[in-house]
């Protein structure tokens, strides 16, 4: 644990020593991770998150397949036949869309408006496995008696009644007919599932089929049946059971419908809701994954170049006995630290992008209420950051471990000798090196004096080949001066 803490402190110091490099890597990763997290939030909210119903994977939509038109719904007469004759479903209920003119003032005000609503059979709420958070739902007796009752949505309770707990029993006027509010549904409840915000049902009233709707001559396939599969029953078995009942319904068609051919159609509720947008979301997710891969390749390249520049440091540490695992751990920890910082910035970017996208997405996008920056999306971004940092730092880490110790040390020695020569003998106008040169001046003077004393003690026969310690004399002038002097004279 102490070694890991030491490696973490070492990684922080290295990042602080190269702020421009660190900032470039962090911003690159932040863009890639943020875009991927934002698109994943759409995929998770629309495709992966379960519907807000009990055992949503067992819920199906039951309808007729008429000609080349699958899932067109059923007629009002068929509702009772399917409920009575099928054996693959534990429960079912019928629904129909509706619109009401909402009028009448509330204690909190409110303007008249036309609102989307739903007509639901009393068995729909038990089939979906959802109960009101306030009050109750209507029962079969109240539906058969055509009682004017209404269950409102959480959004209506919040916006029109300001979450007043005394809303139960109050009157709401729909199409100039008073209805009594008996329940408030949970925030996440939405049925029938509609696309976007505009057509989401604001309240629900009993289905209460009229005599005109139950007329066998009626050709309106405007009702939808939601059913729950019995335990152990598969979707093909349910479709086969629905086809058997559809053939029975065709035998009871009146003469005006004798030419029609229908068969039962069973589809999962989830598939009905998201089947149209699944290809689009998959394409977007693959696109951002490619963007993230490009960002990872760029970051890995930057880290690799940096590792090559400091390979002598690794060579010195390996020569002094450092373990390869320690160097590998330091490199991976540095990459993970960069990736985590980029991931935090990416999450902030993703949250801003999601908040903006909710106002810009087309109204045809389903389940917009499910799109949020929740714990699952944050956990995905965190894990993706760890994976990205690890993968990006592996290549530089292994490149550092494959360093040739002898070559790296020799190259470092040559670099230091060249640097020292440039420092001591470079041009005088290199002002950035003046302080170091002033520091070296006393040592240069001592070196020149020692050279002169050594030259006096050298024999004359050897003195001709010596190099003059005077740095201002060229080799040619030195040789001419030596030839003109007698050999017995000390130079």
Tens digit of pLDDT for each residue in 281-329? 999 999 999 999 999 888 888 888 877 776 666 666 666 665 666 677 7
Per-residue pLDDT of the chain (491 residues; tens, 9 = 90+): 666 676 677 777 877 888 888 899 899 999 999 999 999 999 998 888 888 899 989 999 998 888 777 778 888 889 999 999 999 999 999 999 999 999 866 666 667 888 999 999 999 999 999 999 999 999 999 999 999 999 999 989 998 888 988 999 999 999 989 999 999 999 888 888 766 555 688 999 999 998 888 888 877 888 999 999 999 999 999 999 999 998 888 888 888 777 888 888 899 998 887 888 888 899 999 999 999 999 988 888 888 887 777 666 666 666 666 566 667 777 788 888 899 999 999 999 999 988 888 777 776 677 877 888 888 899 999 999 999 988 888 877 776 666 554 554 455 444 444 433 333 344 443 334 434 443 444 445 544 554 555 555 545 544 444 444 444 444 444 444 444 444 433 33
Task: Work out whether the CA dihedral 160, 161, 167, 173 comes out positive or negative.
Answer: negative
Point out the domain boundary residue: 212, 232, 260: 260
245 and 384 housed in the same domain: no
Looking at the domain assignment, is residue 395 inside a domain? yes
How many domains does the chain fold into?
A: 3
Integer Cα distance of 471 and 491 in angstroms: 16
DSSP conformation class of 48: I
* CB count in 10 Å sphere of residue 141: 9
Q: Are 36 and 143 in a shared domain?
A: no
The answer to the question of residue 412 being in a domain is: no
Q: Looking at the domain assignment, is residue 375 inside a domain? A: yes
Does the residue 442 lie in any domain? Answer: yes
Contacts of 22 by beta carbon, 8 Å cutoff, 6+ apart: 15, 16, 338
Indicate whether 425 belongs to any domain. no
Last-in-domain residue among 226, 260, 294:
260
Residue 346, SS3? helix
Domain end point (choices 231, 260, 289) = 260
Distance separating the N- and C-terminal Cα atoms of the chain: 69
Assess whether 252 and 309 both reside in one domain. no
CB neighbours of 426 closer than 8 A, spacing ≥ 6?
Answer: 433
Q: Clarify whether residues 113 and 43 are in a common domain.
A: no
- The verdict on 112 and 45 lying in the same domain is no
Cβ atoms of 12 and 337 within 8 Å: the answer is yes
| Whole-angstrom distance, CA of residue 198 vs CA of residue 469 | 94
- How large is the angle between the packed helices 311-319 and 375-401, nearest 10 degrees? 70
**What pLDDT score does 3 carry?**
66
Residue 55 DSSP label: T
Q: Is residue 490 part of a domain?
A: no
Same domain membership, residue 301 and residue 194: no
| Cα 438–chain centre separation | 58
Of 134, 128, 150, 116, whose CA–CA distance to 185 is shortest?
Answer: 134
pTM: 0.70
For residue 421, tell me if it sits in a domain: no
Domain identity same for 323 and 227: no
298 and 400 share a domain? yes
Summarize pLDDT for 427-479 with one digit per residue, the tens.
443 334 434 443 444 445 544 554 555 555 545 544 444 444 444 444 444 44
| Separation between Cα atoms, residue 257 and residue 293, nearest integer Å | 59
* Whether residues 91 and 34 fall in one domain: no
- Are both 94 and 241 inside the same structural domain? yes
Tell me: do 137 and 256 sit in the same domain.
yes
Q: 435 and 361 in one domain?
A: no
Residue 420 lies in a domain: no
Whether residue 231 has a cis bond before it, omega within 30° of 0: no
Q: Which domain holds residue 108?
A: 68-260
Cα–Cα distance, 412 to 419 (Å, whole number): 10
């Amino acid at each position: 644990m102490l070694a890991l803490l030491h490696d973490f402190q070492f990684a922080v110091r290295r990042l602080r020593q190269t702020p421009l490099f660190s900032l470039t890597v962090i911003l690159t990763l932040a863009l890639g991770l943020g875009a991927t997290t934002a698109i994943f939030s759409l995929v998770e909210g629309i495709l992966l998150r379960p519907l807000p119903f009990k055992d949503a994977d067992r819920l199906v939509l039951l309808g007729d397949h008429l000609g080349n038109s699958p899932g067109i719904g059923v007629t009002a007469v068929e509702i009772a036949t399917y409920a009575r004759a099928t054996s693959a479903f534990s429960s079912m209920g019928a629904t129909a869309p509706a619109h009401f003119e909402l009028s009448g003032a509330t204690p909190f005000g409110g303007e008249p408006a036309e609102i989307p609503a739903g007509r639901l059979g009393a068995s729909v709420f038990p089939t979906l496995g959802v109960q009101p958070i306030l009050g109750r739902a209507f029962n079969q007796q109240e539906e058969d008696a055509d009682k004017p009752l209404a269950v409102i949505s959480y959004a209506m309770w919040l916006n029109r009644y300001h979450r007043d707990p005394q809303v139960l029993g109050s009157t709401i006027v729909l199409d100039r007919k008073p209805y009594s509010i008996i329940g408030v549904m949970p925030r996440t409840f939405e049925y029938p599932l509609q696309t976007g915000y505009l057509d989401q049902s604001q309240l629900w009233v009993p289905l209460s089929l009229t005599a005109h709707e139950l007329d066998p001559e009626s050709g309106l396939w405007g009702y939808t049946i939601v059913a729950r599969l019995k335990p152990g029953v598969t979707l093909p078995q349910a479709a086969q059971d629905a086809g058997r009942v559809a053939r029975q319904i065709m035998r009871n068609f009146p003469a005006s419908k004798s030419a029609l051919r229908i068969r039962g159609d069973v589809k999962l509720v989830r598939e009905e809701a998201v089947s149209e947008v699944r290809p689009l979301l998959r394409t977007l997710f693959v696109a951002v994954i490619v963007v993230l891969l490009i960002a990872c390749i760029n970051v890995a390249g930057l880290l690799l170049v940096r590792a090559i520049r400091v390979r002598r440091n690794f060579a010195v540490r390996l020569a002094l006995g450092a373990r390869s695992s320690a160097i590998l751990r330091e490199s991976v920890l540095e990459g993970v630290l960069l990736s985590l910082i980029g991931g935090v910035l990416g999450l902030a970017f993703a949250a801003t992008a999601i908040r903006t996208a909710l106002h810009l997405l087309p109204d045809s996008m389903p389940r917009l209420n499910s799109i949020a920056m929740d714990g699952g999306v944050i956990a995905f971004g965190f894990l993706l950051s760890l994976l990205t940092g690890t993968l990006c730092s592996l290549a530089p880490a292994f490149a550092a471990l494959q360093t040739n110790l002898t070559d790296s040390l020799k190259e470092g020695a040559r670099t230091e000798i060249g640097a020292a020569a440039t420092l001591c003998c470079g041009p005088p106008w290199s002002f950035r090196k003046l302080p170091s040169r002033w520091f070296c001046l006393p040592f240069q003077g001592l070196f020149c004096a020692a050279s002169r004393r050594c030259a006096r003690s050298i024999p004359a026969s050897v003195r001709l080949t010596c190099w003059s310690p005077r740095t201002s004399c060229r080799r040619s002038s030195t040789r001419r001066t030596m030839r003109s002097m007698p050999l017995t004279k000390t130079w």
